Structure 1
Amino acid sequence: MARIYLTDTTLRDGSHTVSHQFSPDDVTKVAKALDDAGIDLIEIGHGDGLTGSTINYGFSDYKELDVIRAAAGVVKRAKVTVLLIPGIGSVEDLEEAVHAGATAVRVATHVTEADVAEQHIKAAKKMGLWTVGFLMMAHMADAERVLQEAKKMESYGADVVYCTDSAGAMLPADVTEKISLLKANLSIPIGFHSHNNLGLAIANSVAAVDAGATYIDGSLSGLGAGAGNTPTDTLVAVFNRMGLEHGADLYKTMDASTEALAPVLLAKGVTAQTNLDALICGYAGVYSSFMLHARRAAVRFGVDLRDILIELGRRRAVGGQEDWIIEVANEIAQNKVK
């Protein structure tokens, strides 16, 4: 199966959760952590895209270009990405974003209005940007209409076209139908962006990959509008379990949530939703009741809790074998010394 490319939208879609108040300092911390984790594209800016800071969509206290510069200053390998919605942002706004350090853009339209993106996609390509066509509210059109609009974006020069479940309204069967048709009829890669309003963001992302999508969106701890986006941390764990090729490191992605994002959110009175303890238990395949014992053993032996649980899963530990937790933690500690 083809390599999967991950776009993290914590610092753009996730900004809805904090009323678009990520500061340049916040962006520096989170963007650096995401880049270190191996995320391919890191989306930055107001939740409604370039120049979205208005009375209609909510004002940010921080200058948009300063936020982009903050990300560009620490990101070494990922594409610093911005969202442009024609009618909110303009080609001129995009030019300023490029000067500030943006290297990719997602040009977003309603699913039936791809034609309004022609000018912006063509201009973005002339600027040398990696350019994504982003068809929003894709649940509102049937598969044939989504394909019709996607072909327009392909013809304008888009490098990728996205089927975007903006309302979190799609079921896995809907995703499979739409992505499969796009995959069969386009010559460029297909992407998928999901919201978790029906609790199906991970399932829909998996369905998208199975149907041929190679660009998948997430956000740390699922931060985003409505019920949030597909959690990037969980997505990486699931893709690892599926044996898919991608560039993200699971531990570093989890740490980006707990060590970079969580303190930023806490300072704004927001608590991250994703339970990463539960995530690692599921990833390892062990009883959740092992968590408390493993946490104590991790502290006692100075080792990573996750390593303990994963090794217990490899050994297929079950209830009644809690004594293995100490044994495993000790072995990991001894191996660190060697």
Structure 2
Amino acid sequence: MKDLVMMDCTLRDGANVVGKGFSADLTKMMIEGLIKSNIKVIEFGNALGLGAYESRGAIAPLTDGEYLELVQPYLDQAELGMFIGVTNVNERNVELAARYGLKFLRIGANASDGESACEAIKLVKKHGLKCRYSAMKAYVLNADELAEEARMLEECGLDELTIMDSAGTMTPGEVREYVEKMVAKVKMPVGFHGHNNLGFSGSNAIAAAESGATVLDCGLMGMARSAGNCPTEMAVALFQRMGQMEYIDQYALLDFIDKELSPAMKEYGYHNPIEPIDLVFGDAGAHSSFEKIFRDVAAEKNVNLYKLIRGVSKLERKTVTKDICLRIADEMLKA
């Protein structure tokens, strides 16, 4: 498995859970939380992309210009970019992105519509931006057809292509076939963006990575259109078990979700489908019936709850006692 890049799409696709875009406060909160966790490839802005505010009536709390102004302090801390529908790729929009210092634009077009994107790719490259591409509704073409379209787009100058399972309909076997065939056809990085409609978002992310994809789209707390994306924090837990994404500070990420993001999203009626503690129970192999013991000892000894759960679970999974927890907590404090 090649080294994996996490692209967090919460601030773009995730904005669908509140309308067409997040507020300034939530945008700043999430960018800072992601950077603090060392997740530094971030897509943000209007849920329908750059230019959609005017052209498609996708009214968000901020205009494109206001989102671009907002991210200026973070440009040297992360690779920030925007999505843009292929019909909105024009001189004005691309020049705006370049002028405000974005690192990339990701062109979105439905699979089979790739020929319409060649000039758009050239325009993005002319302005010095990395050009990514989302093959939306990837499943409308078979794996061979999509791979051939990717080859054509690469010849137009494309830097990276994401296979987008827009309906969450693909199974791990299908993801493997699509990724393997595309990786064999092109030299550019291949990414995968999966929705969770059939509950396969995590399995499909693993299948994509094992088949040669090197970029994975995710969303904090699973936030995205419809049934959501693969949760960022779940992907981190899964791939760190496989020796990947070790550059991400998982504890900082979970702390951010617990203390800042989850409380903020409750105001919008959004409920986290997998709470951080349940994620850690699954990752550590710890039964949730021991939760009170873990919490009591973590509070008594003032140690990180999630580190305690993992530490104890390496030693004992069947019967967790307070004595075992106290011993591990003391070892944590000494370390």
Alpha-carbon shift at residue 322 of structure 1 (Å): 4.7
Structure 1 equivalent of residue 184 of structure 2: 184
In the TM superposition, what is the alpha-carbon distance from 1:115 to its structure 2 partner? Answer: 1.4
Residue deviations 1:168-209, cap 9 Å, x none?
110001100000001111111110001111110110010000
Corresponding residue for residue 143 of structure 1 = 143
Report the equivalent of 2:223: 223
Offset of 1:280 from its aligned partner? 0.6
Superposition deviation, residue 74 in structure 1: 2.7
User: Please, which moves more after superposition, 52-61 or 223-232?
Assistant: 52-61
Q: Tell me what 2:126 maps to.
A: 126
**What is the DSSP-based 3-state SS (H/G/I as helix, E as strand, rest coil) of the residue aligned with 1:10?**
coil
Report what 1:39 is aligned to. 39
For the residues of structure 2 that align with 1:164 and 1:276, how far apart are their CA atoms? Answer: 26
Corresponding residue number in structure 2 for 1:13: 13
Q: In 2, are the aligned partners of 1:35 and 1:75 still within 8 Å (CA)?
A: no
Instruction: Indicate the residue corresponding to 2:305 in structure 1.
Output: 305
TM-score scaled by length of structure 2: 0.94
Distance 2:53 2:2 in 1: 38
Question: Does structure 1 residue 323 correspond to structure 2 residue 323?
Answer: yes
Matched-pair contact (CA < 8 Å) for 1:161–1:191: yes
Q: Indicate if the aligned counterparts of 2:118 and 2:153 stay in contact, CA closer than 8 A.
A: yes
By how many angstroms is 1:289 displaced?
1.6
- The reply to whether residue 281 of structure 1 matches residue 281 of structure 2 is yes
Structure 2 unaligned runs (5+)? none
Q: Are 2:205 and 1:194 aligned? A: no
Q: Given the alignment of the two structures, is residue 270 of structure 1 paired with residue 270 of structure 2, yes or no?
A: yes
Change in CA separation of 1:55 and 1:129 when aligned onto 2, cut-off 3 Å: closer
Deviations 1:126-174 (A, max 9, x none): 2221211210101111011111211122111111111110111100011
Report the equivalent of 1:169: 169
Q: Which amino acid aligns with 1:80?
A: L
Matched residue, 2:251: 251
Is contact 2:86–2:108 with CA below 8 Å preserved after alignment?
A: yes
Find the aligned partners of 2:13 and 2:114 in 1 and give their Cα distance: 21
- Classify the secondary structure of the residue corresponding to 2:216: strand
Report percent identity of matched pairs: 29
Separation (CA, whole Å) in 1 of partners of 2:131 and 2:21? 26
Counterpart in the other structure of 2:94? 94
Q: For 1:123, give the aligned amino acid.
A: L
Q: How far off is 1:245 after superposition?
A: 4.7
Match of 2:159 in 1: 159
1:236-277 Cα shifts (integer Å, max 9, x gaps)? 000011112553221122233233422332333433333211
Asked if the contact 1:4/1:246 (under 8 Å) is kept, the reply is: no
- For 1:31 and 1:20, how far apart are their aligned partners in 2? 17
SS at match of 1:67: helix
* Matched residue count: 335
* Distance in structure 2 (CA, Å) of the matches to 1:277 and 1:243: 21
Distance 1:42 1:255 in 2: 19
Deviation at 1:57, TM superposition (A): 5.8
Q: Describe how 1:4-83 pairs up with structure 2 within 5 A.
A: 4-53=4-53, 56=56, 58-83=58-83
Distance 1:320 1:133, change over 3 A: closer
C-alpha distance 320-17 of structure 1, shift in aligned 2 (>3 A): closer
Equivalent residues of 1:222, 1:229 under 8 A apart = yes
Is the deviation greater in 81-90 or in 253-262? 253-262
Contact (CA 8 Å) 2:21, 2:45: kept in 1 or not?
no
Deviation string 1:198-224 (CA, Å, 9 cap, x unpaired) is 110110010000100000110101000
Q: Distance in 1 between matches of 2:245 and 2:28?
A: 27
2:38, 2:113 → 1: CA distance? 33
Distance, in Å, in 2 between the alignment partners of 1:300 and 1:129 is 52
Unaligned runs of 5+ in 1: none
Inter-partner Cα distance in structure 1 for 2:269 and 2:43 = 23
SS in 2 for 1:173: helix
Shift of 1:320: 5.1
For 1:31-84, what per-residue CA distance to the aligned partner results, in whole angstroms no more than 9, with x for missing partners?
A: 011112121310001111112225956411312221233223235432101001
Distance 2:110 2:156 in 1: 16
Q: Would the aligned equivalents of 2:21 and 2:47 in 1 still touch at CA under 8 Å?
A: no
> 2: CA distance between counterparts of 1:2 and 1:263?
36
Moved more, 220-229 or 259-268: 259-268
Output the CA distance in 1 between the equivalents of 2:332 and 2:314. Answer: 14
Question: Residues 32 and 75 of structure 1 are in contact (CA less than 8 Å); yes or no, is this contact kept in structure 2?
Answer: no
